[in-house]
A and B are shown apart, each in its own frame.
Chain A
Amino acid sequence: MNSIDKQLKNMAKEEAMEPSAAIQAFIQRTLSGLPDDGSPLPRKMARSKRHSFPRPLAAIAAAFALFLLIPNLSASAAEAMSDLPLIGPIVDVITIRNYFYDDGYHRSSIDVPQVELGGEGENSSLGDSVQSINADVQAMTDRLIAQFEADTAEIGDSGHTELSLTYQVLTNTDSWFTLEILVYQGAGSGSQSYHYYHIDKRTGQIMQLSDLFTEGNDYQTAISDEILRQMNDQMAADESITYWVGSAYPELDFHSITPDQNFYFFENGNLVIRFDEYEVGPGSMGSPAFEIPRSVYESMLKEGY
């Protein structure tokens, strides 16, 4: 073994990356939920439902993913690509800061993303939108880190906290860009929240759900009815699935999406509506997402969407 290997193994011993008490408790909970007699696992009960909906492809095709990745990899490649004739403006996302902390009781892992414009366009409405998104992301990460540091100082070694922020580019075509940010905060039990940023690259505008539809159309009811149908179908097919619909507490039930509801486009072009934890069901349902067939809302869309 060479000296570099020895040095790295020593460093690995010093930075052992031990699981937190929360992770250990999670493992023990999973183990204790296993059947005692070795009978087949009640899979639908035991497993997390956080990824019950297929996450969209980060890129639509391999060639396109290469296009996304290469500018992140080397400055020379990025420069070379900026000379290529392209149909739509180049929008890319890079990690500008990694914030890691781990003292055995409190740990955080944050990748702070920054949207970047390639080539020209910094002074256009697209540039303004990019700046606005970056400012928003920066404010959010600053707030999360400040809260984490305050909690760490207050709780000390009497408890555990976790914070992570990850992101991915869901869509990046010549006309549309979507950045998804997932924040996980844990203290005892954990919670997660999704944040989406959309840009219509043709206009350069930041978009929310209501911006897709023409005035006067009740897209909220049409989409909400489809979601309710899917919720009821899922509950009928699987007794472990629970959404808050038709319950004894109607004021807590899901009735309708909002104009700024979280959404993204699935790879097939269908809208996907995302809810946060506890928004439409108990925590065991995670952050459910519903793919809405285009036929449900197509007649209400503005031209071009």
Chain B
Amino acid sequence: MTYITDKKKWYTEQITACQASLYRLAVSLLRNEEDARDALQEALCTGYEKLDSLQDAGKFRPWIMRILHNASYDILRARKPAVSLSDIPPDQEPANTAAFPSDTGLKEALLALPEDYREAVILFYYEDMSIKEISRITGESAGTIKTRLSRARSRLRRVLDL
């Protein structure tokens, strides 16, 4: 990115343009504003430091979201490093969707999903990203993303009564 003359101005414009996407990813993964702020701050600082490694300015959004993904998972690991809900076999996942009131919205249903599913849902349904793009951001295979989306979709359908 050596062709950018005013690095900070360009970076500020890019971040501002995608700040809603960044916020959604952080708060859906971390489920509270305080940790989301920490992840955003970490990602914004890391992104700025590593800006020279961005090869294609047109791919800034997935690039910074990948950095935010890493920052968010660092916080998640520090918070509960032992076992992820997504490591539990699907037949042990909560079947108790009756606990949700009938007027549950997508956000509430989303936040009740395991973290890996939340990320796939946010990127696919809210950010309108393709499986391939999600795969790049999360570092998971396309097959894994499809599986997560499929399970998340199934859970959301039950909870939201779709």
Contact = CB atoms under 8 A, between A and B. Distances in A.
B153 interface: yes
Given A15-B105, A51-B75, A59-B82, A24 B48 contact: no
Nearest to A74: B92
A256 to B, nearest CB: 28
Interface string B1-29: 00000011001100110011011100110
B80 A168 contact: yes
B93 A17 contact: no
A32 B121 CA distance: 31
Interface in A45-79: 46-48, 50-51, 54-55, 57-59, 61-62, 64-66, 69-70, 72-75, 77
A65 B85 CA distance: 10
Residue among B27, B85, B128 with max Cβ neighbours from chain A (10 Å): B27
A62 B44 contact: no
A94 B126 CA distance: 29
Nearest to B108: A100
A65 B80 contact: yes
Contact residues on B (Cβ < 8 Å of other chain), bracket? 35 or more
Given A65-B82, A69-B83, A98-B112, A182 B40 contact: no
Nearest to A59: B82
Contacts of A12: 106, 125-126
Interface string B28-47: 10011110111011101100
Interface string B72-110: 000100111111010010001111100000000111100
Contacts of A74: 92-96
A8 B125 contact: yes
A260 B88 CA distance: 38
Contact of A47 (B15, B34, B41, B156): B41
A270 interface: no
Nearest to B9: A36
A90 to B, nearest CB: 18
A31 interface: yes
24 contacts: A5-B153, A8-B153, A15-B105, A16-B126, A17-B24, A17-B126, A18-B23, A23-B36, A27-B19, A27-B23, A34-B44, A34-B45, A40-B49, A46-B45, A51-B78, A59-B82, A73-B85, A73-B88, A73-B93, A107-B33, A109-B33, A164-B33, A182-B34, A190-B33
